[in-house]
Amino acid sequence: MALTSLLSASDLDRRTAVELLDLAEEMATVAGREVKKLPALRGRTVVNLFFEDSTRTRISFEAAAKRLSADVINFAAKGSSVSKGESLQDTAQTLAAMGVDGVVVRHPGSGAPHRLAQAGWLEAPIINAGDGTHEHPTQALLDAFTLRRVLHGEPASGAAGTGADGKDLAGATVMIVGDVLHSRVARSNVRTLHTLGASVVLVAPATLLPWGVESWPCQVRYDLDEAIAEFAPDAVMMLRIQLERMHQAFFPNAREYTRLWGLSAARLHALPADAWVMHPGPMNRGVEISAAAADSPRALVLDQVANGVAVRMATLYHLLTGEDSH
C-alpha cells in the first residue's frame, strides 16, 4: 500500500514493510559512492521539527534528506517561538505557509504527530521520529533492516548484495529486554517484527511493563536467565533505562537492575553462539549492557546507526514521491 505519512509501525503491512526494506538496500549503495548523492528529491524541502533533544535521529534524517538532494531545515523548540508559548497548530501552519514538502516530527507528547496529520494543518507527509512513550517507527524499520541482513548472511551495514531482498524475518526469535514501559522503540519493534513474521519476547520487571501488554503480539517473561534458556533467541535488544521519564521508583537501584536484567558477560556467553546483540542507543554501559556485550563482535549497535540513514532515505523517498524504487 502507498503510505501518505508514517506515524506508527501499525501503518505498515508485510508487503509495504518489505518494499521499504528492499528500497533501503538500494539506498545503502549510495554510501559507498564517491559522491553520496541522488537527485531524487532535488527542489523539495524537508523540515526536521524536533520538540525534544536528539542526536542520532535528527542527524540521520538530515543526512538522509541531503543524500536525496532535498533542502533541509532543522527546527529546534529551544530558541524558537515555541519557548514563547507558540502552539503546535501555529508552528505547523507557519511551516505550511512556507510550502514545505515533508515534515519529520519528534515530540515529548504521545500522539503529537497523529494530531498534526489528522488536523489538516499540513498537507505534507509526516514522519513520526518519536512521540513520547508511544512509537518510533523508523527505528523499528532500521532494526528490522539490520536483522534481516545478518540473518540472511549479508554484511550488517554498508553496501551489500541482494541476498535479503524480498525476504522477511519469519522464523526468527527476537528478545527485547528492559524498560518497555517508557520505550517507544519497544512498541514499534514489537509491531514491526511481528508484521515481518518474527517471534518477539519481552523480558522486564513487572513494574517496567505497560498496562495491556498481554494483548501485544508477543510473549512476556520476567526472568532473563530463564528466558534465554527457554527461547535461545536469534537476537537480543537491550533497552535503556529512561530515568528522565521516571517519576517514581520502578526498581530498587541500578546495581540490582543490572544483576537481574543486564546483559552481562556471563549472559552474553549463555546466548546461542550466533545470537546478535542490539541496542537503539544511547547505551548506559554497566547498567543494561556490559562493555563485553557492547563491544562484542556480535554487537550491531553501530550498524543500526549506519543503516538508519538508508532506511530514512527509503522512507522519505517513498513518502515524497509515492514510488517504491528509483
**DSSP codes of every residue in 274-316:** T-EEE--S---BTTTB-HHHHTSTTB-HHHHHHHHHHHHHHHH
Residue with C-alpha cell 526494506?
21
Residue 308 to residue 314: CA distance in whole angstroms: 10
Whole-angstrom CA distances from 287 to 235, 240, 319 are 19, 8, 38
The x, y and z cell numbers of residue 299, run together, are 554487537
Every domain of the chain with CATH number 3.40.50.1370 lies at: 9-135+305-321, 137-301
Burial status of residue 260 (CB atoms within 10 A of its CB: 0-12, 13-18, 19 or more): middle
Query: Is 106 annotated for ligand binding?
Result: yes
Angstrom distance (rounded) from CA 318 to CA 77: 27
State yes or no: 57 annotated in a binding site: yes
Total Cβ atoms within 10 A of residue 15: 11
d(CA 224, CA 240): 16
Name the grid cell of 239. Answer: 533497552
Which residue type, as a one-letter code, is found at position 271? L
Tell whether 42 is in a known binding site: no
180, 238 in Cβ contact below 8 A? Answer: no
281 labelled ligand-binding: yes
Weakly modelled stretches of the chain, pLDDT under 50? 245-246, 326
Provide the pLDDT for residue 245. 47
Q: What is the fold, at CATH topology level, of the domain defined by 137-301?
A: Rossmann fold (3.40.50)
Choose among 150, 155, 157, 147: nearest CA to 198. 147
pTM of the model: 0.93
Query: CA 199, CA 197: separation in Å to the nearest integer?
Result: 7
Which residues lie below 8 Å from residue 264, measured CB to CB, with a gap of 6+? 258, 290, 292, 293
**Residue 36, annotated as binding a ligand:** no
Look up the CATH superfamily of 9-135+305-321: Aspartate/ornithine carbamoyltransferase (3.40.50.1370)
The pLDDT score that the predictor gives to residue 234 is: 98
Nearest to 148 by CA among 187, 195, 214, 211: 195
User: What is the Cα–Cα distance from 189 to 204, expressed in whole angstroms?
Assistant: 15
- Asked whether residue 184 is marked as a ligand-binding residue, the answer is yes
CB 227 within 8 A of CB 265: no
Q: Does 139 carry a binding-site annotation?
A: yes
Question: Which runs of consecutive H residues, i.e. helices, occur in the chain?
Answer: 14-28, 56-67, 88-97, 112-119, 137-151, 184-195, 224-231, 254-261, 265-270, 291-294, 301-321
Residue 282 labeled ligand binder: yes
Strand order in the sheet with 173-177: 219-221, 199-203, 173-177, 235-238, 276-278
C-alpha dist (Å) from residue 146 to 76, 116, 167: 29, 30, 13
